[in-house]
Amino acid sequence: MQKVGIIIKRGEQKAVDLVGEVVRWLQKNKKEVIIGKKLAGLINFPHGFPEEKVPVFADLLIVLGGDGTLLKAARIIGDRNVPLLGVNLGNLGFLTEITKDEIFPVLSEIFEGKFHIDRRMKLSSHIIRNDKPAEEHSVLNDIVISKGGVARLFELETYIDGSYLTTFRADGLILSTPTGSTGYTLAAAGPIVHPGLNSIVITPICPHILTGRSIIVPADSTIRVALKPDDGEEDIILTMDGQVSVPLRPADEVVVNKSRASVCLIRPSRRDYFQVLRTKLKWKEVND
């Protein structure tokens, strides 16, 4: 890993301050630094690249920010297998699990080969409009179908591999990867799914039925959701990873399946997934 890219949360001054330290440390350790033009200008670094080109040239991508920043980085890298190291400068941070104080010891371990790579599955969503594919998007966390305006129940006719599942009458529907199960899905009372499992979690948002619960299906399933909005309303939105939104029309269908691409997250050799869960969810430790 000779070429190291850096992506930060925009408008976050503490991320900008930390970048300068990271760049100097990398240069001291004879690593080539790859950063975007805007970031280069902020720290007076002489060589900047277009932001979308940073992961093209990098062997490792350091993400300074929160989970939202890492999700953005995962979108930028597309189908490239560039490993991501998330450094948490935000609040919870399931994906950006490294703290600011840990960054240099962890980087030292990485360059010594002491790390693990967690390969996380992604989802692809296709909008079907007038029986033709209209748009395609790829996500690491989740795909959400919901109302864009006033919260109001609507119907989502849902099929799994062509078999009718049910028509959810709810505020919306979340289709999540195991990685995304600790995001919006968790807030909607969905299950926590180990990221090593290949599965898709389907969770209704505030369903108008007591038995409206999440269902976990195999990752190779094809999920089709046909919109049945009340009164022909057209304020339904498809949101990808909480960052990109696309308006849907009443007759649209959304088809979701496992993406061919995946995301590689670097995990320090001394830390496991359950330790991250205990820390982030403030679960009891053995000696508490």
Catalytic residue among 67, 142, 241, 252: 67
Does residue 251 surpass a pLDDT of 90?
A: no
Residue 96, pLDDT > 70, answer yes
| 156 and 203 co-located in one domain | yes
Residues 102, 159, single domain; the answer is no
Could you tell me if 104 and 149 lie in one domain?
Answer: no
Q: How far apart are CA 257 and CA 15, in angstroms?
A: 35
Mean pLDDT rounded to a whole number for the chain: 90
pLDDT at position 259 over 70: yes
Contacts of 195 (CB under 8 A, 6+ apart): 118, 120, 177, 178, 179, 273
Express as a percent the part of the chain with pLDDT over 90.
Answer: 60
Comparing CA positions, the residue from 230, 228, 221 lying closest to residue 252 is 228
Return the CATH number at 102: 3.40.50.10330
Do 141 and 191 sit in the same domain of this protein? yes
Residue 233: what pLDDT?
A: 58
220 belongs to the catalytic site? no
Q: What is the CATH number of the domain that holds 175?
A: 2.60.200.30
Q: How do residues 215-224 score in pLDDT, each as one tens digit?
A: 999 999 999 9
Count structural domains, the chain: 2
pLDDT at 229 over 60: no
Give the mean model confidence (pLDDT) for residues 253-271.
91
Of 82-91, 123-132, 199-208, least confident by mean pLDDT is 82-91
pTM exceeds 0.85 for this model: yes
pLDDT for 47? 85
Q: What is the pLDDT of residue 134?
A: 86
Same domain, 242 and 138: yes
Print the domain residue range for 84.
Answer: 3-114+269-281
